[in-house]
Amino acid sequence: MRVLIVEDEVRLAATVQDLLELNGYTADVCHDGESGLDNALTGIYDVVLLDVMLPKLDGFSVLRRLRAEGSATPVLMLTARSEVTDKVEGLDCGADYYLTKPFEPRELLACIRALTRRQPEIRSTDAMEYSDLRLEKSSFTLFCGQRSVRLSRKEYDMMELLMLNRELVLTKETLLLKIWGYESDAEDNNVEVYISFLRRKLTHLHSRVRIRTIRMVGYCLETAGE
């Protein structure tokens, strides 16, 4: 596993690098946004740790450019506690997770493990996995262990979008556009209705996965007990 650390606080970057190397990772460090972006774009990293306040190019711009170039490398953003309000902006730019400084080494390691594990595994073109769930396209069926449930077309589309985006927040507007399309006169209410259908099915499956509501923003998946 190879981790890129983009952090201008030299001592913090070195501490994190030591921590990761002690735990079996290969870790490279960049101290500014431009070189961070160049390195991240090589595609050789399994995870990028990205500070927000950086010289030359800030973390949000790095992330936006990275996603615009089609990179799907998981990005863990690091930010000072005072910048917590930036969280939504970070998630909107395509961050996979947020950690506020100062953080515990164990917390950082757990996040990195989670991010490298949570890449949606597409075993065949037919099925997708997230946590204890498996979504099968040919049968529109959602599996959790021995249990399974059939989904309607719209429920399937919504679940697929949520699983593809993992812990990223999907806004109601995005769900409406992607599932109902521009032409439709569907409203936010439709999204809420289908979210409630899916929640019922997740409960029925005894899944650890929950659909979390981010007030005034949208929805994302989370796994209970993590």
Which member of 51, 86, 155, 160 binds Ca ion (CB under 5 A)? 51
Q: Which residue is nearest to Ca ion (CB)?
A: 53
Q: Given the complex with Ca ion, which of 51 and 155 has the nearer CB atom? A: 51
Near Ca ion by CB under 5 A, which window of 32-40, 49-57, 127-135, 154-162? 49-57
Q: How far is the CB of 95 from Ca ion (least distance, A)?
A: 15
Nearer residue to Ca ion within complex by CB, 8 or 157: 8
| 132 residue type, one letter | D
> How would you write 38-86 as a 3-class SS string?
HHHCCCCCCEEEEECCCCCCCHHHHHHHHHHCCCCCCEEEEEEHHHHHH
The yes or no reply on residue 8 touching Ca ion (CB under 5 A) is yes
- What is the size of the binding site for Ca ion (CB under 5 A)? 3
β-pairing verdict for 47-51 and 75-80: parallel
CB 189 within 8 A of CB 181: no
Tokens standing for 77? 């953003």
d(CA 38, CA 35): 5
Query: Which residues, numbered 117-156, are part of the site for Ca ion (CB under 5 A)?
Result: none
53 touches Ca ion by CB under 5 A: yes
- Work out whether 83 is an interface residue with Ca ion (CB under 5 A): no
Q: Measure the CA–CA gap between 192 and 197, rounded to whole angstroms.
A: 9
Stretch near Ca ion under the rule CB under 5 A, chosen from 8-16, 157-165, 192-200, 210-218 = 8-16
Q: Which residues contact Ca ion by CB under 5 A?
A: 8, 51, 53
